[in-house]
Every structure is written in structure tokens, then in C-alpha cells.
Structure 1
Amino acid sequence: MNMFDFEANRHLSQGAPLAARMRPTSLDGILGQAHLTDKDSPLRKSIDAGRIPSFILWGPPGTGKTTLANLITSTSNFHLETISAVTSGVSELRKIISESKSRLGMSGQRTALFIDEIHRFNKAQQDAILPYVEDGTVTFIGATTENPSFEIISPLLSRCRVFTLKSLEIKDIVQILATSLEDSEKGLGKRNLKIEEGVFENIASLSGGDARWALNTLELAADSASVQGNDLLMSKSLLNEVIETKVLPHDKSGDKHYDTISAFI
């Protein structure tokens, strides 16, 4: 990376949404998924032993699937290739497989292939991965919001562990919001924000357990905060106005939308 690349990455990082800036940098920093990240959990034991199986992370949006995949591979000395099933196809997969074989032969470093929204791959695309998962050319990591039993072909699913992520609890979301408010380097700590009591709880209640939505809502409210002396005031009434400009997270049935909107009633 040259000086210009470094500066470009630095500016991109500074301009990234709050949710991206506040991604945990260690497995211990991930909240709400103790069944996966605790040191005594089966997944954590595999990670600590350097034995990473092919697996699928299944859970709602904003629960840490991408962050978890990145941290697992970075702590295990894997080379990580990340693609989205929405924008990638078989030709890109073939290129990654070819490079993975070369890397393994030249340096002995294994490759983890992370495919976000794996349920968006059709049967033929999923079939294209299968031989290389089977022979160990790549360790496959998939992320999906949909039930893998219905969206992943049986031969691929049978070669993967499935780890389920849970929607975050209100207390976890509140803690994440509070941390972002205090963090002067990556968060909102330099803004002198004064938060009315109950604002964090209201955001958390409306988030549906989605930390990304909660953080980005907080940032939007912070950008709209009113001046009060030397501080910026973020009130419940302001938050209510901000919420009206955002789509609330909800399940396909729409029930969660109506369950959470009651936080302001």
C-alpha cells in the first residue's frame, strides 16, 4: 500500500457510517452472541485451536455475521476473500479458486471464502463451490438471513456447520450506543452530545435487535441535534422525527414493525 492508498483508506474510514466505524475488533467485543464467542463455546475452541471448519452464519440483519467472519479468519491466519452473492457469479468464483490453489502451493496459506447473502446464489452457483470445499481448497463461510435448510443445497449444507446468531437484546443495543457516544476516535465522542434519558432505550426498542440500524439511527439523530449552550441536545422528540425518515426493521410478516412502534406510544 502506498501513501496515496493509505490516505484514501483513512478518509474512507472516517467517512464510513457509524455502524461500520464501530465494528468490534476482537471476538470478545461482540455482544449478544456469547453462545458462539465465549471461550468455552465449540466455535471459539475451534478458532483458538486454529481449526476452522466450513460453516454458515444464520441470523437476522445487524447481528454481527460479517464482523464475526472477518474476526475468525483474521485470528486464524487465513487469507480472506469476500464476495456478495448479489453481485458476484461463477467467473469470479473460478478466479478466487485459482488464486487460492496458487497461494496454498506457494506459501501454504489457506483461503477462507466468505459469501455474504449466500441464499442469493442459485443451485448452479452453489454447485460450483462444492468440489473446492470438499477437497479443502477453500474454507467456506456463508452468511444468510434465511433458513439454510431451505436455501442451501443439501450437498453443500452437509459439509458445513451452521451457527445461529440471535437478535441482540435491548441491553446489548443500549451498551453499543453508549460506547459509540463515548468513543472519541471512531464514534461520536467529540460532538459534545447531551442525550435525553430514554433515547437509547427507545432506539434499542425500535431496532428489532439490529445493531447496524440502531447505530445509523443514532448517527442521523446526532446530525440533527439542536444546540443547547456548548452542547448538542438529542431529545426524544427529535428522535421521533428522525425515526419517521427511516424504514423500521421488520420481519416478512410485518409484525415486528407494529410491535416496536409502540415504544413511542
Structure 2
Amino acid sequence: MSDTLFSANAPRPLAEILRPRRFSDIIGQEHLVGPEGALARMIAAKRLSSFILWGPPGVGKTTIARLMADEVGYNFIQLSAVSTGIADLRKALAEATRLRESASKPTVAFVDELHRFSRPVQDALLPAVEDGTIVLIGATTENPSFSLVSALLSRAKVYTLNRFAAADLHRVIARAEAHFERPLPLTDDARDALVAMADGDARYLLGLCEDIVATDHPSDLDTIALATLVQQRAPLYDKGQEEHFNLLSCFHKSLRGSDPDAALYWAARMIAGGEDPSVVFRRLCCAASEDVGMADPQALVQVMTAWQAFERVGLPEARLFLAQAINYVATAPKSNASYRAFDKASALAKSTGSIAPPKRILNAPTKLMKELGYHDGYQYDHDHPDAFAGQSFFPDELGGHDHPVLYEPNERGFERDVKKRLEFWNRRRKQAPEGKD
């Protein structure tokens, strides 16, 4: 074969052809590359310091790194953490040292997917960054706080790149059309659908543009024809990493905030991204107890019943049970009184240590225990009116009837009735003899 997949004569991807050639051509990141942006100020000063570019795929991390090195006249070395080991890194650092000595100018070492470097490889970068052998520009799609070693983070600022907005992606399409010297054969609705398919990724969008032009379709494609032509991109969602926890947090806060529409949306986002439905149900259980609690005790029952039905019936019908459970929890009256009560109980237990319980509420299965006063004075509640004797179950050292109040129900939902019941019992307790050991 004269030409291979890796032949120098192979056509370049459109994303590479249209990669910005000047810093001023960068779009979508005006907060960094605009006149007052931090990266623009570095270029104006003609001096780069190490930094990390954090953002989703296809928003220009590599382009920014390359153009910044060009603008200030630095040498440029590009590495990929996916394929670079410790030996390769040492060779690159040796080359950077040679370039600094021969050319008398700094070298930018751009490391794509920096989060994929192991801790030892990240640590190996530190001396070269500290002594000025390289100016490190790292690119990562994951939160640097979790994926990079603290020593490296302390030596490099982190700049966040935005996901491209729809207006930015329409500008990308316009550049593609200028390159092809003709408009894409799309209706207005299909053009908007194409932008939605890209999900904020300009590189992916340009790949779609190439596919559409390659079909040489004789008429404008509508949204249905476009959908059959190109496969919609899977949503950006990493079940094991930060996006997993971000969407779960959005889901839980929507439930707590009594917004069923938002809760349904975030749950759908997670399911569409391939999340295990049991993860969503577990968070529903937590919200049903933490945020609804005794204001509607049926919330937890509803969630567990829906979960059981989901597992027995399976998708696609089972989505109905998930939706019903989400709507129930989101629209239920809210109270975190039980949650707060256990926090206060835990703090009280920790601060009071191993105080002995009152002997009157301890069983006395042996003669010796009876002689020691165990169970002496205990009152069987069912022998009293309303099945309530009014005795104290707290240690006497904690005040007996005057013990700290832990559970304080709200005036919402079913908990309003619980509050009235507790107030009734508290009045009865004050009238009852407390009994001392």
C-alpha cells in the first residue's frame, strides 16, 4: 500500500485545519483571552508562568497553549499523559534543557490529559518547573483538586475554560461554511439540532460538519434526516468521577427545594449518561428521610416501593416508577427535624460518655439484679390511660424529665400532628412522678 492511515498525504481533520492561528481568533473564552483576561495579560507581559487549563473536551485547551507559546516566542513541546511514561518525560525534560541552553529561551511543556499522569510522574515534573527548565501548561477535563498532586497545584494556577455556548458553536459552523465555500444543507431547526448534538464540543461539531458535507445531500436536511445521518453524541457524564457527584448534588438539591421539574431533569441526565438507576434511588431514599422525614413518613415507603417495582419490571416501563418517586419526594412537605435530632443526639452522647441508664428501665432477670434495684419502679405504659405513664427514660444526670430536647418537629405536613402529640405527652410528664434510682 502506498498510503496508510498514518500517511503524510492523508487529509487533515477539519478541526485541525480550522484551528485558530492567532490568539485573537479564539472564541468562547473571553474571560481569559479578552483584554482583561489573565492569559491575555501574560502575553502582554511577554512572560508565561505555569498554569493548568481545566475544561470539557473540545473547547480549545491545546490551541490556547500552542498560541500562547508562539505569541511570546517560547519553545513548545507537546506531550500526552495517555502515552507518556516516566522515561519519555525525562527525555522531554532533557530536550527542554538543551533548548534553553542553545536558544536561550524558555520552553513550554504542554501536557494533555495531565490528570492521567500517575503521582510519581507528576512529582517528576516539579524540579523542572521550579528551576525554570519548563513552563508547564497542563490540560485536564477533571477537577484538578482531585486529580493532581498538591505540590504541582501549588506551583501552577488553574484557569477554567467554559463549555461552548450555542452562539459560539454557530460561529464555528460559520467558519466551516467559509472553508467549504458553501452553506451546510440544513434547515434552521436542523442547524440548531446540530449545535445541540455537539454538546459544547467544537471539535466534535466540526467532525459532524465534515460528515454532512461528505454526503453531498441535494436538499436541506431537516432534524429527522439529520438524526438519521449522524449519530447523536452520548452526554458528557463520567459515572465514577466529578460529574457523577455534581449531577447527584443537583438532583438532591432540586428534591430538597421542592422542584420536581428540575429533579426529573437531573435524573434523566444521569440515566441518559449511563448511570445505574439504583444510584438515583439511593439518593431518593436519603432525601426522603433527610429532607422530608416525619413531615411525610410515606415518602420513604413510596421510594422503596417504586425501587422494588423498578427492579421487578425493568426498563423502559420502569421509568414510570422512578418518575413517580421523584415527584412524590419533590412535592412532599419538608422537614429535617429527624436529621437534626440525631446530630444533636450524637453530640450529646459523645460529650456525656458512658453515663449509666436508670435502673428502673433495666430488666432484672436474676435475683442479684433485683436486689440491686434493677427494674424497681418501672411502669408498664399500657397499664395507664392513653398507654402513657409519663416516666423518664433519660439518665438522671441529664435531667430526667428536664433533659435536652433533641427532636423538635416543624409545623409542616404530618409533623404538625406529631408536634401536637409530643406537646400532649410533655404536659402529662410534668404531672407524673419521675421516680429516682
TM-score w.r.t. the length of structure 1 is: 0.84
Contact kept in structure 2, 1:33 and 1:166, CA below 8 Å: yes
Residue 269 of structure 2 corresponds to: 255
More helix by share: 2
Is residue 181 of structure 1 aligned with residue 177 of structure 2? Answer: yes
- The one-letter code sitting in structure 1 at the alignment partner of 2:152 is L
| SS of residue paired to 2:72 | coil
Residue 212 of structure 1 corresponds to: 203
1:258 shift after superposition: 4.8
Contact kept in structure 2, 1:61 and 1:145, CA below 8 Å: yes
Specify whether residues 217 and 192 from structure 1 end up closer, same or farther in structure 2 by C-alpha distance, changes over 3 A only: closer
Moved more, 120-129 or 16-25: 16-25
Show CA shifts across 1:217-255 (max 9, x none).
121122124235xxxx444333111233x5434222582
- The one-letter code sitting in structure 2 at the alignment partner of 1:181 is E
Q: What is the percentage of aligned positions where both structures have the same residue?
A: 35
Partners of 1:200 and 1:257 in 2: how far apart? 26
Partners of 1:200 and 1:158 in 2: how far apart? 44
Contact kept in structure 1, 2:198 and 2:233, CA below 8 Å: no
Aligned with 1:136 (options 132, 139, 143): 132
Partners of 1:35 and 1:72 in 2: how far apart? 16
Residue 126 of structure 1 corresponds to: 122
Q: How does 1:1-265 map to 2 (within 5 A)?
A: 11-12=9-10, 15-183=11-179, 188-189=180-181, 193-228=184-219, 233-244=220-231, 247-252=233-238, 253=244, 255=269, 258=272
More strand by share: 1
Specify whether residues 84 and 159 from structure 1 end up closer, same or farther in structure 2 by C-alpha distance, changes over 3 A only: same
Contact kept in structure 1, 2:176 and 2:209, CA below 8 Å: no
Contact kept in structure 1, 2:93 and 2:133, CA below 8 Å: yes
- The one-letter code sitting in structure 2 at the alignment partner of 1:255 is R
- The one-letter code sitting in structure 1 at the alignment partner of 2:225 is L
Show CA shifts across 1:183-229 (max 9, x none).
2xxxx22x67533223321111222211111111121122124235x
Contact kept in structure 2, 1:30 and 1:37, CA below 8 Å: yes
Partners of 2:271 and 2:52 in 1: how far apart? 27
1:256 shift after superposition: 7.5
Specify whether residues 193 and 243 from structure 1 end up closer, same or farther in structure 2 by C-alpha distance, changes over 3 A only: closer
Partners of 1:58 and 1:178 in 2: how far apart? 26
Specify whether residues 23 and 56 from structure 1 end up closer, same or farther in structure 2 by C-alpha distance, changes over 3 A only: same
1:143 shift after superposition: 0.2
| SS of residue paired to 2:142 | coil
- The one-letter code sitting in structure 1 at the alignment partner of 2:269 is D
Show CA shifts across 1:97-153 (max 9, x none).
112112211220211100000000000000111101011110001000000011110
Structure number with higher relative contact order (C-alpha < 8 Å, ≥ 6 residues apart)? 1
Partners of 2:52 and 2:158 in 1: how far apart? 5
Contact kept in structure 2, 1:59 and 1:144, CA below 8 Å: yes
RMSD after superposition:
2.0
- The one-letter code sitting in structure 1 at the alignment partner of 2:204 is W
Count residues with an aligned counterpart.
Answer: 239
Contact kept in structure 2, 1:57 and 1:164, CA below 8 Å: yes
Specify whether residues 217 and 248 from structure 1 end up closer, same or farther in structure 2 by C-alpha distance, changes over 3 A only: farther
Specify whether residues 257 and 52 from structure 1 end up closer, same or farther in structure 2 by C-alpha distance, changes over 3 A only: farther
Contact kept in structure 1, 2:184 and 2:209, CA below 8 Å: no
Specify whether residues 193 and 163 from structure 1 end up closer, same or farther in structure 2 by C-alpha distance, changes over 3 A only: closer
Partners of 1:96 and 1:193 in 2: how far apart? 43
TM-score w.r.t. the length of structure 2 is: 0.52
Residue 4 of structure 1 corresponds to: none
Partners of 1:92 and 1:176 in 2: how far apart? 35
Moved more, 204-213 or 141-150: 204-213
Partners of 2:189 and 2:25 in 1: how far apart? 24
